[in-house]
Structure 1
């Protein structure tokens, strides 16, 4: 490739003399005679056929003969007659493959003697996919080279440095010498972005579009390229943009100071897509398990939709652990993640009295379906099951935030709806609940629920429903369940399935609603319930062994019940106005909304489903007659033995206030919520023989300080007194010398999120990865129980998305961002005159950013009942520009430990890290 020399004076057109080739003329004439001999004049040529060019010998033709031809003769173009167009010799390649565009602000000068073109000030040249922008560009047409450099202004500043762009590669050197024919270049003092890093080189040799060679170059991920805080010095390296960097001997420099951290050779992948690779483990020491390697393994980039991470831990005393993590996603369809963790824990040495060996595991799966994927069906999963003590005994630091969890729960569900009149829905769900303290596991494998939408048999054809008759509706519900209760030691063993219980429940509710006296809403209905079960019980008294015997009876059995209910409610609005003419009071008015309701329920007695057996003493006398229902172990309960008729009373309240707005430009008063809800409920058993009134249950809640403080409270008030044995008696407490109600229980919870940056900063100290790890383990969505200490996989944080609150100025001005989260809970019990605080605790966590780079945080709590601190975690974080340093410390308690980490933020160099930790001494 070469640049065409422009002319600044006149345009010269060189004409080439035409030369007659006798051989070609004779060949064309003979070819024409051959065609005319074997062709027909009236044949219409096919459009796809190529019309051969013909040279006709000039002859004198009579005009009359031309007019007798039925087809007009087409005009023959002279261009088509040119025999050179069918020449078998290929034409020479154009001097330039592409159009050359150039521009300069000050001048464009061509030196005919030197055959050079000079462009100065804001110079630009575009040729194909090559683009050079610089202050000074010189083009040499003899050597086919382009030399670009910057210019020096009046203050001596070097400006307008070249920017060389070819395809997707962008290079910003001090100067560049490019050969347009060989496509090779010498680049001086260049900074080339390669993936997440940048290569800084004094001299770079560009071999072609895809290969560069550098010497004594620097590779860094620092943001300040003029003075990088660290870099890897590459003595000799080969760069393939977008693919890889291969280097010889290289070592790390920190602020131009060499370190002994070196490699004899190195390979840096630069693929824009995720790639597979080795994950370097963390080493450390634990007092009871020896030295260890933790979280080492391999990452598999299976495809753009799914990946897989395999990790392992090994301790010198023989303990080991395996982890498998996988994430998958398909846009507009679904996303999820899967994880399995297994640990074999060995304590002490074999033969010692404190030797112990145990295995723990944990399985987690989360799947969510995009709402756009299928509007009529949905599949979701949230699984967290395994050993009950997994989070408490695990050695892995990633589980720190979930050590206080007492419950593991899972749910997998699929639902489908069929549009129509009526609508039909069904769902299949599998659930799991596991208590880590009692190690009791409750499962439903599966639960089937089906329903047919409401049917209005008496509705008008117009679709509107008015009155008692037209609002009569019925529907059908089916619930089938297979329930299993087992323990941690029998999980998924043969004994687990032996105690499984299954059943079906059919429900047909018939309801209606109407208005009464214009202001009251009345609803009434009845419900038919039928239960099928496949296992019942039989009880009898064994007089030989003098004991009651209960045995299971396999086989189908069923019972049917029904009930009646009606309710009436209304809404009452009250306004307390505090405004007076001529006064601008702060509180304008208080609005009170009351929603009272009363309901009446009748449940008939179904004593036909009850049996009895006699208890005979040693003398043969009947000492007792025990009644029981063979359905008492049914998963859907047993039918009522006695008739019940009860009235339920409910009252809900809402309080709001209108206050003067601080904004003087506001035209209306500001609305403030005083109480979100204040509810009272009780019941009266009309058919009961004693203790007809149920305790009054009071609940309430509100939010204060712009919703930063959330308060919820509740209490239970019993109207009946207690006897000397602390049992309820048929006597009101006020008649027994007490108050109207007796406080039997109470609870208060409050949570407060404070920050000097607003309420949205309550979780500033947490990353999305922290919260995901907490929630996937069944924990909280905050750091009150601590945060995960898996710093090695969390060091990369998107700092680019963090917006600065203020533009930096020359004047010193610094704010100290902070956030504080508080959770307070107290429970009071007095059902049997114990008059005690059953639980009383305060949990708190917070973060404070002392400087732009230093952040400290803490999570702890205090148990006022047991007078002790809850597990405490102190966190220190230092932002070292391209590096991040973390220190986490649990100073006391069962999980006393610390963890120190320092590593590079960039994911491409995340294996350049140092981590030291002291594991907690956990007793098996």
Structure 2
């Protein structure tokens, strides 16, 4: 009784004043000290000094240290209803919205019971007024969070037992009937379920395993496992499985897809290995194999370093075999494609920059590829590449230097043009008669001088000769120096005048010589290696002004005013004849027929002209804008509406020409309608001269030949319209980073959406996932039929008319349409089609269907007719961890080698 009384008194002092030292004559032996609630440790043992009354000797009796029990770190706690301390049971009870924080452990529950003598903590639910369990325990240790019905753990050994636990491990949510925590890194579970579903209370699918070993953030190892869909077991199962759970990239095997092809047999496709080489770059190696001998290899890497650069590099090779050896349709083709994209952060180096955009390879790669159905890329006739480095020298005047390599490849003619390399240098403007810090006004002070240098090593070859010795033997090199001298000033206050003269000197390493061979009676063109040069100059000037006109209709009108801005200009250019660079050669054996030529023809840069020109150019640019009353009551100013973005007219007159001095008049116009959602552009060419019966222009005005003032030789109209149901906004659907856009194709889906056979999990419509709560709300309101149907629509129309030689025909007349609509919140449909009115046939047509199955995705893609006939069906799990759980069936077009 005395001992208990001592502890009660001691605890009162501790809770009030904190920890104190105590000296006494009687100390209970081997009794654990009661820890103060706000202190991290139990009461330490204290030495007891006994004073003997009848002697002067002081005896010191040191008590042996008491075994340390209780918590070894500061503990904070809170509860809404009460906190109960039971000294007899050595427990502390927290009730209703209880919280306990100890070291890296954070525990929240309806009720928490802590036994500080045994270092154990219990957490569970409580019942509300209706008798329902609420406030489930939430256990957090580090980054690992576990929700459960009840938890029992030991703060010393770190062991725990959890009933009906729920925790997130990467993309997985793991449910365990009984979970045993061995230490900070190992959990064992019984009758566990794991899923990637976002619905934790009622997942639409899950995998049920009898036993699981879980290492948070690293791996999950399961025993016998079955798949359940809507709580219904399926025959799909595994005897065991291993799932990596790392938060960082990990190397691993990429499982292939199997199938069959009519012309290549059975196949394994897109199998390989992913290498997580570092935090800055990775490597993916995949390949395909067909039973008829076709195969493909792909190497893809992405790299990035923050605030410096980022990019990716792809190399693809395919050996395509059609049919079987011995059959008449047997053929073999080797195709490759190299893509490299590199972008430098502007903060990395303000005065220098390196960039790369490379897309080169076999001309027929995208037409015959084994792993992509990309109509947009097959319709693009050019592949382009560019690698460049530029540097700015902060001198006075400033100097700019760049070095680049370019590549252009026509996929139809298979002609390749490259520059390896191109050197460009320039010196900034130097004002000859004005100080650097003075204003530049007037004719003299505005006189400035520049210097530009451009050097090229140009190669023209064919796909079959790419990177072969002949390709480099045919290279041509040249360098051009350009010095422009210019000035500008105003006259009569409103007229702007500019004048310039340019001197150019060109150095070449290749010239040509035309020679008639009497023995063979033919003219040969011989390539001559060696240095040569020529010099040219020209003069040009222009004068222009801006005229403003406003037509007011009154503020009470819907259209209050129209504003017309006109910019007329007159230009003059003079280029002399450079006959000194021209020679003659014999055409035949008669010795009477000769022709002139320049040895600098067919060079890197344009050859010097033999005839001089003395041109006067006329141009008028117009814009029309309207001021319209705004019906919005909150608006204080009228709206400005652009009627015509541009209406341009231009022509020229050559005073040095002895005939056909006037050039055709070119007229172009463009505008945007319907809140700038429709874009219309128009262009036409009008020729003032007539033509003869052979269709050739003659030096007779058309009006003097019985016709009109101008003869319409060509015209074209293009229109595009894009709109969505969302507040009348312009239609979406553009993908700037798609493979089609990277190859120079359209960024929208007017030519359909590309199907990447290597990754069918991605949405056809490439849209962000909607919020799950919003989808549930829409489902509950609209049911299967939803009154709100989000949609987007795009169309493009093109019309081309030609009449150069009295053809009087429409050479092109086609319309393309594409659209997408959400039939229900989780059903999407899309289409792309068109019609060619000249060829009288339907253009490329694609139908797309997609179903959002929450954690799964299902789609059907169909091209019903044409050269690219295709259909594909896919259903699979969205999560990348379970990407191999899918069904993918397709019928790809049988590409024919040589198409």
| TM-score computed with the length of structure 2 as normaliser | 0.91
CA-CA distance at 1:399 after TM superposition: 3.6
Give the direction of change, closer, same or farther, for the CA distance of 1:805–1:758 in structure 2 (3 Å limit).
farther
- 2:284 and 2:894 map into 1 onto residues whose CA distance is 28
Q: Which residue of 2 aligns with 1:11?
A: 13
Q: After superposition, give the CA deviation of every residue in 1:419-447 in whole Å (9 maximum; x if it has no partner).
A: 12211001111111111111111111111
1:753 to 722, 736, 742: 722
Q: Which residue of 2 aligns with 1:152?
A: 127
Do the aligned residues in 2 keep the contact of 1:791 with 1:901 (CA within 8 Å)? no
CA-CA distance at 1:461 after TM superposition: 5.8
CA-CA distance at 1:802 after TM superposition: 5.3
Give the direction of change, closer, same or farther, for the CA distance of 1:92–1:424 in structure 2 (3 Å limit).
farther
- 2:171 and 2:672 map into 1 onto residues whose CA distance is 46
CA-CA distance at 1:860 after TM superposition: 2.0
Q: After superposition, give the CA deviation of every residue in 1:589-625 in whole Å (9 maximum; x if it has no partner).
A: 11111111111111111101111123344xxx43312
The secondary structure found in structure 2 opposite 1:838 is strand
The secondary structure found in structure 2 opposite 1:717 is strand
CA-CA distance at 1:805 after TM superposition: 7.6
* Structure 1: gaps spanning 5 or more residues: 20-82
Give the direction of change, closer, same or farther, for the CA distance of 1:8–1:245 in structure 2 (3 Å limit).
farther
Q: Which residue of 2 aligns with 1:728?
A: 697
- 1:816 and 1:691 map into 2 onto residues whose CA distance is 61
1:108 to 66, 83, 90: 83
- 2:66 and 2:425 map into 1 onto residues whose CA distance is 79
Do the aligned residues in 2 keep the contact of 1:796 with 1:906 (CA within 8 Å)? no
Q: Which residue of 1 aligns with 2:797?
A: 824
1:904 aligns with 2:880: no
Q: Which residue of 2 aligns with 1:861?
A: 834
1:612 aligns with 2:607: no
The 5-angstrom pairing of residues 427-446 of structure 1 reads 427-446=402-421
Q: Which residue of 2 aligns with 1:652?
A: 621
- 1:474 and 1:7 map into 2 onto residues whose CA distance is 98
The 5-angstrom pairing of residues 144-543 of structure 1 reads 144-397=119-372, 399-460=374-435, 462-543=437-518
The secondary structure found in structure 2 opposite 1:518 is coil
Q: Which residue of 1 aligns with 2:520?
A: 545
- 1:533 and 1:796 map into 2 onto residues whose CA distance is 53
- 1:740 and 1:263 map into 2 onto residues whose CA distance is 84
The secondary structure found in structure 1 opposite 2:632 is coil
- 1:899 and 1:780 map into 2 onto residues whose CA distance is 23
2:808 to 835, 838, 857: 835
The secondary structure found in structure 1 opposite 2:740 is helix
Give the direction of change, closer, same or farther, for the CA distance of 1:806–1:665 in structure 2 (3 Å limit).
farther
Q: After superposition, give the CA deviation of every residue in 1:10-39 in whole Å (9 maximum; x if it has no partner).
A: 3377734699xxxxxxxxxxxxxxxxxxxx
CA-CA distance at 1:239 after TM superposition: 0.7
Q: After superposition, give the CA deviation of every residue in 1:28-69 in whole Å (9 maximum; x if it has no partner).
A: xxxxxxxxxxxxxxxxxxxxxxxxxxxxxxxxxxxxxxxxxx
1:777 aligns with 2:743: yes
Give the direction of change, closer, same or farther, for the CA distance of 1:6–1:893 in structure 2 (3 Å limit).
farther
- 1:339 and 1:124 map into 2 onto residues whose CA distance is 53
Give the direction of change, closer, same or farther, for the CA distance of 1:609–1:884 in structure 2 (3 Å limit).
same
Q: After superposition, give the CA deviation of every residue in 1:787-817 in whole Å (9 maximum; x if it has no partner).
A: 2212663526785675988993875464101
CA-CA distance at 1:540 after TM superposition: 2.1
Q: After superposition, give the CA deviation of every residue in 1:121-152 in whole Å (9 maximum; x if it has no partner).
A: 12222222222211112223454322111111
Moved more, 507-516 or 660-669: 660-669
Q: After superposition, give the CA deviation of every residue in 1:686-725 in whole Å (9 maximum; x if it has no partner).
A: 0100000000111121111122111112111100001111
Q: Which residue of 2 aligns with 1:591?
A: 563
2:573 to 571, 594, 601: 601
- 1:545 and 1:231 map into 2 onto residues whose CA distance is 84
The secondary structure found in structure 2 opposite 1:507 is strand
Give the direction of change, closer, same or farther, for the CA distance of 1:414–1:896 in structure 2 (3 Å limit).
same
Give the direction of change, closer, same or farther, for the CA distance of 1:187–1:455 in structure 2 (3 Å limit).
same
Give the direction of change, closer, same or farther, for the CA distance of 1:246–1:438 in structure 2 (3 Å limit).
same
* Structure 2: gaps spanning 5 or more residues: 1-6, 15-19, 27-59
Do the aligned residues in 2 keep the contact of 1:285 with 1:919 (CA within 8 Å)? no
Give the direction of change, closer, same or farther, for the CA distance of 1:647–1:626 in structure 2 (3 Å limit).
same
Give the direction of change, closer, same or farther, for the CA distance of 1:642–1:215 in structure 2 (3 Å limit).
same
Give the direction of change, closer, same or farther, for the CA distance of 1:556–1:410 in structure 2 (3 Å limit).
same
Do the aligned residues in 1 keep the contact of 2:405 with 2:420 (CA within 8 Å)? yes
Do the aligned residues in 2 keep the contact of 1:325 with 1:337 (CA within 8 Å)? yes
Give the direction of change, closer, same or farther, for the CA distance of 1:10–1:725 in structure 2 (3 Å limit).
closer
1:632 to 601, 612, 619: 601
Q: Which residue of 1 aligns with 2:73?
A: 98
| TM-score computed with the length of structure 1 as normaliser | 0.88
Higher gyration radius (CA) = 1
- 2:264 and 2:274 map into 1 onto residues whose CA distance is 27
Q: After superposition, give the CA deviation of every residue in 1:547-596 in whole Å (9 maximum; x if it has no partner).
A: 222211111111111111111111111111111xxx61100111111111
CA-CA distance at 1:526 after TM superposition: 0.8
- 1:256 and 1:601 map into 2 onto residues whose CA distance is 83
- 2:8 and 2:204 map into 1 onto residues whose CA distance is 49
Give the direction of change, closer, same or farther, for the CA distance of 1:535–1:759 in structure 2 (3 Å limit).
farther
The secondary structure found in structure 2 opposite 1:10 is helix
2:848 to 875, 893, 905: 875
Do the aligned residues in 2 keep the contact of 1:384 with 1:778 (CA within 8 Å)? no
Do the aligned residues in 1 keep the contact of 2:366 with 2:372 (CA within 8 Å)? no
Do the aligned residues in 1 keep the contact of 2:225 with 2:239 (CA within 8 Å)? yes
CA-CA distance at 1:398 after TM superposition: 5.3
Do the aligned residues in 2 keep the contact of 1:753 with 1:759 (CA within 8 Å)? no
Q: Which residue of 1 aligns with 2:662?
A: 693
Q: Which residue of 2 aligns with 1:121?
A: 96
Q: Report the RMSD for the aligned CA atoms in angstroms.
A: 2.4
2:821 to 848, 856, 862: 848
Do the aligned residues in 2 keep the contact of 1:751 with 1:821 (CA within 8 Å)? yes
Q: Which residue of 2 aligns with 1:917?
A: 890
The secondary structure found in structure 2 opposite 1:469 is helix
Moved more, 521-530 or 543-552: 543-552
Do the aligned residues in 2 keep the contact of 1:894 with 1:921 (CA within 8 Å)? no
Q: Which residue of 1 aligns with 2:109?
A: 134
Q: After superposition, give the CA deviation of every residue in 1:57-100 in whole Å (9 maximum; x if it has no partner).
A: xxxxxxxxxxxxxxxxxxxxxxxxxx999x9x999757531122
Moved more, 750-759 or 273-282: 750-759
Give the direction of change, closer, same or farther, for the CA distance of 1:803–1:462 in structure 2 (3 Å limit).
farther
Do the aligned residues in 2 keep the contact of 1:817 with 1:849 (CA within 8 Å)? yes
Give the direction of change, closer, same or farther, for the CA distance of 1:641–1:517 in structure 2 (3 Å limit).
same
